Amino acid sequence: MNLDRAVEGWGVLERAVDLARRGTPFVLATVVWREGPSSGQHGSRAIYTATGEIHGWIGGACAEPVFKREAVKTLEAGVPRLLALGASGRFGDLPDGTMAVEMSCQSEGALQIYLEPVMSMPHLVIVGDSPMAHTLSEQAGQLDWNVELVGGPDFGEGLLSAHSIVVIATQGHDDEGILVAALKAAPAYVGVVASARRGEAIRSFLATQSFDEAELDALRIPVGLDLGSTTHKEMAVAILAELVQRRAAGEFAAAVEIDAPPVETATDPICGMTVDAVDTSHPLDIGDETYYFCCPCLLYTSDAADDRPRV
């Protein structure tokens, strides 16, 4: 796991912007309340990415394992969460939507952390060099979408993923060949700037290329909302409006793939807190058993039958 402690303050937000532009899903965590003593401060921020990287600082040995586990859940759910970390019964009645996580730390501090999932922006690939294609590229860029504008000869299926949105605006220049390449990548959406009559001819051709009926039915030809007779700038608006509408309906949503290596957990036998079963969790070997702790403790072994460590 990559732990980047050097990033702090506004640097965390700059890193967040960079990750969002690169299409990397992550959770942005912010300490919105604290009660000392606690190493996390008001406004402390940290990022947890889908690959398990941490940038910034949200708290010490007690808070960080909880942050990592809950960040993964937040990424999977795709909705923000407010966590209250502290001793049992510390917070009393919490607002709806707030999740209390018992944290029995020696410092007896407490935190409330807001976890905000930041999903990758749509990946829009526009194929063509017309004024409309350039206008659409500029408009989608204003929405902070990840936009690529490529000429027909430069297009290939390697540019796409299963989450890509493809708009082909080549004005009849090798539409069929570009469509074949695009469909092989099975992107989330494919649309063509063409008339309905031209669309029928394109579908007839693709039917001879071993594409099934479902793939052909999913094609949007003509692409965009029907606004009647429009200029090229208005056509770009119509196309973007359709894409925004579909995104708002959840059609382009994709499950986040969590690539972070799983970390085994253990229960601190002294305080009952869940900790990561790693070397930084103060392991203690007693017989054939390894115990892990949230902080260093003065321990001795008991003569009791269970032979558990005692304070």
In whole angstroms, give the CA distance from residue 28 to residue 41.
Answer: 15
pLDDT of residue 17: 86
* Contact yes or no for 276/263 (Cβ under 8 A): yes
Is-contact 50 257, C-beta < 8 A? yes
Identity of the amino acid at 196: A
Nearest to 275 by CA among 1, 64, 126, 32: 64
**Beta bridge partners of residue 275, listed in sequence order:** 266
Q: Is the pTM of this model over 0.85?
A: no
Q: Which residues of 6-24 are buried (b: 16+ CB within 10 A; e: fewer)?
A: ebeeeebeebbeebbeeeb
Sign of the torsion angle spanned by Cα atoms 230, 234, 235, 239: negative
User: Which pLDDT does position 235 carry in this prediction?
Assistant: 95
pLDDT of residue 38: 61
pLDDT at 222: 94
Half-sphere exposure of 101 (CA within 13 A, CB side): 26
Q: Can you tell me the distance from the alpha carbon of 243 to that of 237, in angstroms, rounded to the nearest whole number?
A: 10
Rounded to the nearest angstrom, the gap between the alpha carbon of residue 310 and the centroid of all alpha carbons in its chain is 42
At residue 259, the pLDDT reads 73
Please give the average pLDDT of every successive group of 10 residues along the chain, which has 311 residues.
65 88 87 74 88 86 83 89 79 75 68 89 92 96 92 93 92 90 94 93 90 89 89 94 92 72 74 73 83 67 53 52
